[in-house]
């Protein structure tokens, strides 16, 4: 008789922005795995003794670029949205950090 793996009885709640969750879920679906499998894989990698070894310079660079691209992919849609309104800096004509009634009215 083979030993059974431990029962998965514990949960972990993580709060994050909707856009981040949606991007993560889409990535998991593309890769054909569940979000739970992805998170468990991350936790296993973090707890692995191999994880504690220092990354080589090029590995750290690749990891930083990948993280930057992932963050950019999540942030880009929200950054691309335009509201059609003037920015605060454009409205605050005397650069005092406060919008006067006159400045607000000339928007």
Mean pLDDT of 67-72: 75
Tell me, yes or no, whether 92 lies in a domain: no
List the structure tokens of 75: 């942030």
Q: Is residue 48 part of a domain?
A: yes
Specify the higher pLDDT residue, 80 or 86: 86
Distance in angstroms (rounded) separating the CA atoms of residues 34 and 52: 26
User: Does residue 40 sit within a domain?
Assistant: yes
Q: What are the tokens at 58?
A: 């090029």
Residue-number span of the structural domain to which 25 is assigned:
18-80
How far apart CA 13 and CA 55 sit, in angstroms, is: 29
The pLDDT of residue 83 is above 70: no
Residue bearing the bigger pLDDT, 83 or 73: 73
Q: Is the Cβ–Cβ distance between 53 and 42 less than 8 Å?
A: no
pLDDT, residue 9, reads: 85
Is residue 98 situated within a structural domain?
Answer: no
Per-residue model confidence as pLDDT tens digits over 31-66: 999 988 888 888 888 888 765 555 567 677 777 777
pTM of the shown model: 0.43
Residue 51 contacts residue 45 (beta carbons within 8 Å): yes
Count how many domains the chain has: 1
């Amino acid at each position: 008789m083979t030993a059974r793996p431990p029962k998965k009885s514990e949960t972990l709640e993580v709060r994050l922005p909707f856009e981040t969750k949606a991007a993560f879920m889409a990535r998991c679906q593309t890769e054909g795995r569940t979000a739970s499998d992805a998170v468990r894989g991350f936790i296993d990698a973090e707890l692995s003794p191999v994880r504690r070894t220092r990354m080589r310079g090029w590995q750290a660079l690749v990891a930083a670029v990948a993280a930057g691209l992932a963050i950019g992919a999540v942030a880009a849609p929200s950054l691309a949205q335009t509201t059609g309104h003037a920015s605060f800096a454009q409205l605050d004509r005397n650069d005092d950090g406060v919008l006067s009634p006159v400045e607000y009215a000339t928007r």
